[in-house]
Chain A
Amino acid sequence: MEVTNGLNLKDTELRLGLPGAQEEQQLEVSCVRSNNKRKNNDSTEESAPPPAKTQIVGWPPVRSNRKNNNNKNVSYVKVSMDGAPYLRKIDLKMYKNYPELLKALENMFKFTVGEYSEREGYKGSGFVPTYEDKDGDWMLVGDVPWDMFSSSCQKLRIMKGSEAPTAL
């Protein structure tokens, strides 16, 4: 991993891959997901069934309003980390449960989240994942069932150390 002047350049590299993902394979799949017609120069050596599929006009035979409806299966939310110079975005629909999400966040921001307990929230690391729900309130990640969380989460914020109140 390239680190120059304390900055992890790979982290700021503009690309379409999943946050934290390194492989070219992932890059290709996301290209397909992004559903645009730009040529992916990196994929010429890869075996590439997916791009051809999505570019056949009128296939699969599904009405466009259904296609548009399904694209709502992508829900990007902003993720901020206290002290980080810029925000990131992740697609919540990529994850099926909290462990997956937390792991992705840990990878993205290079931290570890503590152990979760209902009584005391996250203990042990000084990092606390929180989210803003539809009512505008900041909630602790992990209290409610995953489905409820993923449909109401508008933004994520990883609170750090002194800013995160010890009693939540």
Chain B
Amino acid sequence: MNYFPDEVIEHVFDFVTSHKDRNAISLVCKSWYKIERYSRQKVFIGNCYAINPERLLRRFPCLKSLTLKGKPHFADFNLVPHEWGGFVLPWIEALARSRVGLEELRLKRMVVTDESLELLSRSFVNFKSLVLVSCEGFTTDGLASIAANCRHLRDLDLQENEIDDHRGQWLSCFPDTCTTLVTLNFACLEGETNLVALERLVARSPNLKSLKLNRAVPLDALARLMVCAPQIVDLGVGSYENDPDSESYLKLKAAIKKCTLLRSLSGFLEAAPHCLSAFHPICHNLTSLNLSYAAEIHGSHLIKLIQHCKKLQRLWILDSIGDKGLEVVASTCKELQELRVFPSDLLGGGNTAVTEEGLVAISAGCPKLHSILYFCQQMTNAALVTVAKNCPNFIRFRLCILEPNKPDHVTSQPLDEGFGAIVKACKSLRRLSLSGLLTDQVFLYIGMYANQLEMLSIAFAGDTDKGMLYVLNGCKKMKKLEIRDSPFGDTALLADVSKYETMRSLWMSSCEVTLSGCKRLAQKAPWLNVEIINENDNNRMEENGHEGRQKVDKLYLYRTVVGTRMDAPPFVWIL
């Protein structure tokens, strides 16, 4: 390769798009490092505090697309205070100053403000694509700046963000000359929507492929929108309540029949279930169905819909589908690759839910299944052993038994053997979430067999430090370890400090680690940021004098090449 001129090598590198592969390429030799860094267009940063924008831009001056992730995963469950960090403004400011030709920005769990959106919209002439996932801190005013100023906007994709809806006119801020939209997803907005502006926008966007509406878009508006956009591939229905005989419903039925390219359906945030039959004509084309927000769709209407979806690859639903419903999925959806079953009754009623039977049925019926997230009331080792036998190809296996510490409901044993069977059989397993009653034994199995495991979530599990040590010593590819309410302490934390250099981050909350343990760790590993989040009583730890032995409520540590961050709030101590 070294006999080829740089342009040729660069051209070859153009075919390598995965950032992992490009990272590997850059390590081969100095000349490849140099060629690679000038040609890299897409950069992925898994932890925004591991690096800073200046160093990013020094290495990749030609970057066009940036992905940034901020808060740790457990922030999704309110375990991380809002002001913890993950601010995007400094990044946008630095990118704007450097005049890099940014075209795409993808953010996850970051704090975004209207100011940063405004700056973003004005600083990059060719900006095309904004994807915000689980972010917060901004309002529809920020969206208005994006709409108004980004002349070539292609994607505005807002997934599960907390957006302050000022009920303004952000949709009418798209100029009449904007005809380039491909993706428009505002399902997470809670407020009213300017329907006229929306319809005009959709009508002048011939390339629109993905449209996800919020609950303020009623059925008659949906009908009109679908008439304008028969080329739609991905549709998120907003409000779907109506009297089935009305003119709008008939119009909708007719419009849906024409959407022959429709492959993905979601939403139904408010639904009259008996109207679902309008979608039956296109169900046989669907590859993705997300009804996890459709609390009102269940029972026979749901089953009838699913029975039409023979080509489904991805299904997200609520557990109100029940084991019987999952059996229907298993016999209908032979192409299923990913299944997520979310809990519908979180207030403890324990009504219709799914059990180990549903999981076993799916594993038996869907040979291509590789990713599962399953919330259930109960589980058995026998069921997990069967699932492991049926589906040795799992890449992601996330099981959440709703009651913490619940044993096998038939044998009353811990679920060590069941999860052990999973990790032993599934040699490609990259992500695992555990639940139920678990001893150190399950971690022994994980350390022994889960060779490809990159992310592990542990809650209310284990007996002693040995459990955590099995994992740290055994899982060579571990990147993200998150633990809550488990009896792991300083011994496990400090056993092999160099391990954390190979990992992106470690989260431990309500465990047995102490302040002095954390301090010792910070001393031994200056290339780690060791953060203690101490919301309740800022000063109690120091004053007590038992300071060293005080248990730390929340510990979050991560490798970084730029040292201590400067934007931490007072309740975050960086040791």
Question: Chain A interface (Cβ within 8 Å of chain B)?
Answer: 29, 32-33, 35, 49-50, 53-54, 56-67, 69-73, 134, 145, 147-148, 151
- The DSSP consensus for interface residues of chain A is helix
With A32-B348, A50-B348, A147-B273 known as contacts, the answer to whether A60 contacts B295 (CB < 8 A) is no
- 9 residue pairs from A and B, CB less than 8 Å apart: A33-B348, A57-B79, A60-B346, A61-B433, A61-B459, A64-B78, A71-B347, A73-B344, A151-B241
Inside 8 A of A57's CB, which chain B residues have their CB?
A: 77-79
Interface residues on B, range: 35 or more
Across the interface, B77 reaches (CB within 8 A) one of A35, A62, A70, A71, namely: A62
Tell me the residues in window 240-281 of chain B with beta carbons closer than 8 Å to chain A beta carbons: 241, 269, 272-274
State the Cβ distance, A134 to closest chain B Cβ, in Å.
8
> In the complex the two chains form, what is the Cα distance from A53 to B299 in whole Å?
27
A7: min CB distance to chain B, Å: 32
Residues in B neighbouring A33, C-beta threshold 8 A: 347-349
Which residue of chain A is the closest to B318 with respect to CB atoms?
A70
A143 to chain B, nearest CB (A): 14
Q: A58-B74, A58-B78, A61-B459 are in contact. Are A70 and B274 (CB under 8 A)?
A: no
Residue B563 lies at the interface, judged by CB distance under 8 Å to chain A = no
Shortest beta-carbon distance, A37 to chain B, in Å? 14
Q: Is B404 touching A59 in the complex (CB atoms < 8 A)? A: yes
Contact B274 A148, beta carbon cutoff 8 Å: yes
Identify which of A54, A62, A147 contacts B342 (C-beta below 8 A).
A62
User: Interface residues, chain B, CB within 8 Å of chain A?
Assistant: 74, 76-79, 134, 160, 162, 188, 241, 269, 272-274, 292-293, 295-296, 299, 301, 318, 342-349, 375, 400, 402-404, 433, 457, 459, 484
B342 engages A145 (CB within 8 Å) = no
Q: How far is the CA of A61 from the CA of B342 in the complex (A)?
A: 10
How far apart are B336's CB and chain A's nearest CB, in angstroms?
22
Residue of A nearest to B271 (CB): A151
Given A57-B78, A58-B79, is A66 in contact with B293 using a C-beta cutoff of 8 Å? yes
Q: Which residues of A contact B400 (CB under 8 A)?
A: 60-61
Question: Can you name the residue of chain A whose Cβ is closest to the Cβ of B510?
Answer: A57
Within the assembled complex, what's the spacing in Å between the Cα atoms of A151 and B241?
9
Q: Is the CB of B296 within 8 A of A54?
A: no
Question: Considering the chains assembled together, what is the distance between the CA atoms of A73 and B345 in angstroms?
Answer: 8
Contact call A70/B349, Cβ cutoff below 8 A:
no
Do B296 and A69 have beta carbons less than 8 Å apart?
Answer: no
| Smallest CB gap from A74: residue in B | B347
Could you tell me the distance between the alpha carbons of A134 and B274 in the complex, rounded to whole angstroms? 16
Given contacts A58-B78, A66-B342, A151-B272, 7 further A-B contacts (CB under 8 A): A54-B347, A54-B348, A58-B484, A60-B402, A63-B77, A70-B344, A147-B299
Q: Are A67 and B346 in contact (CB under 8 A)?
A: yes
Instruction: Give A63 to B188 CA distance when docked, in angstroms.
Output: 13
Q: Which residues of A contact B188 (CB under 8 A)?
A: 65
Asked if A61 contacts B76 (CB within 8 A), the reply is yes
4 cross-chain pairs, A with B, having the tightest CB-CB distances, nearest first? A58-B77, A50-B348, A32-B348, A33-B347
Q: Which residues of A contact B292 (CB under 8 A)?
A: 66
Bound-state Cα–Cα, A61 to B404, Å: 11
Q: A33 — nearest CB in chain B belongs to which residue?
A: B347
A65 CA / B76 CA spacing, docked (Å): 10
Expressed in whole angstroms, the minimum distance between the Cβ of B245 and any Cβ of chain A is: 12
How far apart are the CA atoms of A73 and B299 in the complex, in Å? 15
B residues in contact with A58, CB < 8 Å: 74, 77-79, 484
Partner of B296, one of A29, A32, A64, A151: A151
Q: Which of chain A's residues have a CB closer than 8 A to the CB of B347?
A: 32-33, 35, 54, 71
Beta-carbon contact of A72 and B402 below 8 Å? no
On whether the beta carbons of B348 and A53 are closer than 8 Å, the reply is yes
Do A70 and B459 have beta carbons less than 8 Å apart? no
Tell me whether A72 and B295 are in contact in the complex, defined as CB-CB below 8 angstroms, given that A59-B459, A63-B76 are known contacts: yes
**How far is B348's CA from A71's CA once the two chains are assembled, in angstroms?**
12
Which B-chain residue is minimally distant from A67 (CB atoms)? B346
Give Cα A63–Cα B109 distance, bound, in whole angstroms.
12
- Residues of A with C-beta under 8 A to B160: 63, 65
How far is B348's CA from A69's CA once the two chains are assembled, in angstroms? 16
Complex CA gap A56/B77 in Å reads 11
Chain A residues contacting B459 (CB-CB under 8 Å) are: 59, 61
Partner of B346 from the list A65, A70, A134 (CB cut-off 8 Å) is A70
